[in-house]
Amino acid sequence: SQTIHQWPATLVQPVGSPLSLECTVEGTSNPNLYWYRQAAGRGLQLLFYSVGIGQISSEVPQNLSASRPQDRQFILSSKKLLLSDSGFYLCAWTTGTGGPELFFGEGSRLTVL
Amino acid sequence: RKEVEQDPGPFNVPEGATVAFNCTYSNSASQSFFWYRQDCRKEPKLLMSVYSSGNEDGRFTAQLNRASQYISLLIRDSKLSDSATYLCVVDTPGMDSSYKLIFGSGTRLLVRP
């Protein structure tokens, strides 16, 4: 069966520090991968998606970047965090044929101080 | 206009009540529609897909109106355990054949004893 792992689960970082969140999927190949962010009390905002290794699409201009170095690995990064980067970050995957269901990791809760 | 819009609520209802949520979407090319449920500080999980003919799963009924571009979710005989945020989700066909799901900001439901 397929599983998705996301880490770290919780982190507190100072403004200006770097960030790296990692997500891996097991039990499937060539998944579509996604990073979403949910600010406190808000809906999910799609940040990045990837349909294959090295293929990254950005949905909104921001202080973050994403990379997909391997088929089932998706990394979210920042060189210098801003206060506004605080939120709940969710990695998700769906099959390469396009769904229908989106499977989420357990999320990473980031607080920037 | 937001791609997917929902009334944020909260809807505060007694146990046993029937409650309905609506959601509107802006992209007439959208083909896939879903309701997800998100518990506090947890990742979203698929509640049900929404089909053109409407579909029912126990106490939950979902309807799609393509002409008016809205989706509804009806919950009958509400239980305390139904308290959560309900997210309307719509696919957005991409130029690169990607499959992107856009989430509404969610409708919060509180079921009281």
| DSSP label of A27 | S
pLDDT band, very low/low/confident/very high, at B82 (cuts 50, 70, 90): very high
Percent of chain A with pLDDT over 70: 95
With 90 as the cut, is the pLDDT of residue B92 above it?
no
Picking from A28-42, A51-65, B95-109, which range would have the lowest pLDDT averaged per residue? B95-109
For A50-90, write each residue's pLDDT tens digit.
989 999 988 876 789 999 999 999 999 999 999 999 999 99
Of B46, B98, B104, Cβ closest to residue A49: B98
The pLDDT value recorded for residue A96 is 60
Which of B108, B66, B58 shows the shortest CA–CA distance to A41? Answer: B108
**CA-to-CA distance for A65 and B102, rounded, in angstroms?**
20
Query: Is A80 in a helix, a strand, or coil?
Result: coil
With 60 as the cut, is the pLDDT of residue B93 above it?
yes
Which residue on chain B is closest to A87 by alpha carbon? B41
With 90 as the cut, is the pLDDT of residue A37 above it?
yes
Of B43, B87, B106, Cβ closest to residue A107: B43
Contacts of A106 in chain B (CB under 8 A): 42-43
The pLDDT value recorded for residue B2 is 80
B27, B101, B105: best mutation site toward chain A, by most A Cβ within 10 Å?
Answer: B101
With CB atoms and an 8 Å threshold, state whether A100 touches B104.
no
With CB atoms and an 8 Å threshold, state whether B104 touches A57.
no
Q: Give the minimum alpha-carbon distance from B108 to chain A in angstroms, rounded to a whole number.
A: 10
With 90 as the cut, is the pLDDT of residue B66 above it?
yes
The pLDDT value recorded for residue B10 is 93
The pLDDT value recorded for residue A29 is 85
